Amino acid sequence: MTAEPCTLRRIFLPFIILLILSNPLEAYSADPYEIFKQADSTLSAISTVEYSYSFSGTQTFSNIIPVIEGTTHLGSVPGIQHPLMIHRLETATRAVSSVTIPSISAASADSVYFVNSSDSVVYRAQYTAGETEFFSFPPASVMIEFVVPGPFRDEILADSIAVLYPVEIDSVWCHVFHVFYSGNSGNEAVWFLGMEDLLPRAVERIGFYGPDSLPGGEFLELSGINTGCPPPDPPDIPDGFRVQEWNSLLEPHTPAPAFFLADTRGFTVRSTQFQGSDMLVCFFSSRDHNSLSALGLLKTVSTEYPDDVQVVGISILETSDPLFRLNSLHLEFPILIFGEDAAADYNVHTVPALFLVSSKGEILYSSSQITQDTLETIRILVEESIQKREP
């Protein structure tokens, strides 16, 4: 009897057939809207959670947002309007915005606190639901979906959802859904939900498409999720620490401080040279995703009111040349650099921060939230200001 030659096909074909037959994802299909509804119900029943996380920028934001690791402990407490939070940043490749690594942020019944151990300062901010800078950074590193009502309401109402192939996150197989949200915001996110427990294991929030259509976003990956823990207790203010109000921006009817700064070409610019028209001042950092989005929105105001509003961007908290990340935005208004002293005069600690200044040098409006609604408010105030200037 002649032995048949031993070929690769004979060796691997049975193995491949066995692999296909044993692969639980072979005939994978999923209804994303139904799964988000189930996940919404599951998370709505959770009152506390703790986890470890890794947070970083993706694609065009990978060089803007460094890798950050830490732990988060969130909990809903009866009688308190927002979740308690103990958020620890453990490691980072460099400092981010004005946040010192390591640090702790926490929330109490009526306020939020940021503990800066290097300066022995506890910054305090009054909490208004959905409007506090402390939930802006660390931004998506708090998976707030665990402890808010209707955590996946926006996903359930999304315009469309693409179903991607499952992947493993922290050794857990996950559904992967690319969500295109409703409205004209252009927001997108890729969600990773555990196939067994429907808990969110990771999310990439896409906020910007850069050169060659590469998306830029923030990627948050969780591990060691524990939903059976007690709620956190806000830490006491350590001995020797002082409490300081955080980011209480100069309010309307306040005289706008003058500034004298260099632009990106090396020329000096004085705020007084814009007298005669309203001035829209935006403090930003090119390393901050929300800042880049804000600058993009302010292009609209600059285009709509070229003779009535002077838009000015003031760069702060930079570690490298901001133009490297701004070129793709094609901004036509002045960008001023090294604006930390001006930021202090305007009581700006976080970015972005926006001020509308009248032609007479009075602040008409200030905000740390720059959205389409903000632009509409700006338009109304500018129109009123123009009417007052007309003879």
Q: What would the mean pLDDT of 119-146 be, rounded to a whole number?
A: 54
d(CA 339, CA 370): 19
- The pLDDT > 70 percentage for the chain reads 67
Out of 30-34, 106-110, 150-154, give the one with best mean pLDDT.
30-34
More confident: 62 or 352: 352
Per-residue pLDDT at 112: 59
Tell me if residue 374 falls in helix, strand or coil.
helix
Question: For the chain, where are the alpha helices, taking DSSP H only?
Answer: 8-22, 32-44, 153-156, 289-304, 323-326, 340-345, 372-389
Q: Is 123's pLDDT higher than 70?
A: no
CB burial readout 98-126, b (16+ within 10 A) else e: bbbbebbbbbbeebbbbbbeeeebbbbbe
Q: Look up residue 352 and give its two tokens.
A: 């972005």
Per-residue pLDDT at 369: 78
Question: For 120-247, where are the alpha helices, taking DSSP H only?
Answer: 153-156
Q: Is 348's pLDDT higher than 90?
A: no
Per-residue pLDDT at 167: 94
Q: Is 169's pLDDT higher than 70?
A: yes
Domains by residue range for the chain, with CATH: 32-226 (2.50.20.10), 247-389 (3.40.30.10)
- The pLDDT > 90 percentage for the chain reads 34
Q: Is 227's pLDDT higher than 60?
A: yes
Is-contact 187 16, C-beta < 8 A?
no
